[in-house]
Amino acid sequence: MSKLSEYPVQIEINPDERVARWRVFFAGFLVIPLYIIVAFFGYLIQLLWFFAFVVIIIKGKIPKWILEADASYLRYQLRIATVMLFLRNDYPPFGFDFQIPDPGDDPHIVVTIPEEQKRSRLLSIIFIRLLLLVPHIIALMGAGVIAGLLTFLSWFFAVFAGRWPKSLQRIVIAVLKYSSRLTAYMFYVTDKYPPFAIA
């Protein structure tokens, strides 16, 4: 079994086979309502991040309701990405599920996170956690540039053919999942260090 399949945070993105050509042109506009919501949600998550740090230092575990908020935030971020990257024809749900098990209300995105609440007091120190992520952040920056170029190229394919080239789509989705695993680690969803794997 690969290290990636053993990682506690599992992300599945199921794109549509074809996409309406008009969505390719208007993806940036379609995402605005979702982006406004997730921006406010993001500020809340950052506050919870600091609160979680304090609670973990004191109790050695993360409150379940913070895990529920983190799971919901991860799913919402991915919903925005699937619209921006013209990976779906339907509009994603607006609602927040606030639960750890994936509610299954969005067939395009499945995010599975562990319910284990114990956390390392040492690894919970924000500075240490961010320091550990530096190699990943550097790798993600490089991968992000490549994913951006591939998305730009795929825009033309989607306009004229109504679909992504499969090979390019797989790479961009893999980078998106990689980014989400790093976000999950940063926000204390798991203490297990994310693997250097873009898949």
| Residues of the chain below pLDDT 70 | 1-2
> In angstroms, rounded to a whole number, what is the distance separating the alpha carbons of residues 27 and 161?
17
> What pLDDT shows up at residue 2?
60
Task: Say how far residue 151 (Cα) sits from the centre of its chain.
Answer: 17
What pLDDT does residue 17 have? 86
**Residues 175, 147: contact at Cβ < 8 Å?**
yes
CB 34 within 8 A of CB 83: yes
Q: pTM of the full predicted structure?
A: 0.90
CB atoms within 10 A of CB 14: 13
134 alpha-carbon distance from chain centroid? 18
pLDDT digits (tens, 9 = 90+) for 26-43: 888 888 888 888 889 899
> What's the CA gap between 54 and 126, in Å, rounded?
10
Model confidence pLDDT, tens digit, residues 153-164: 999 988 888 888
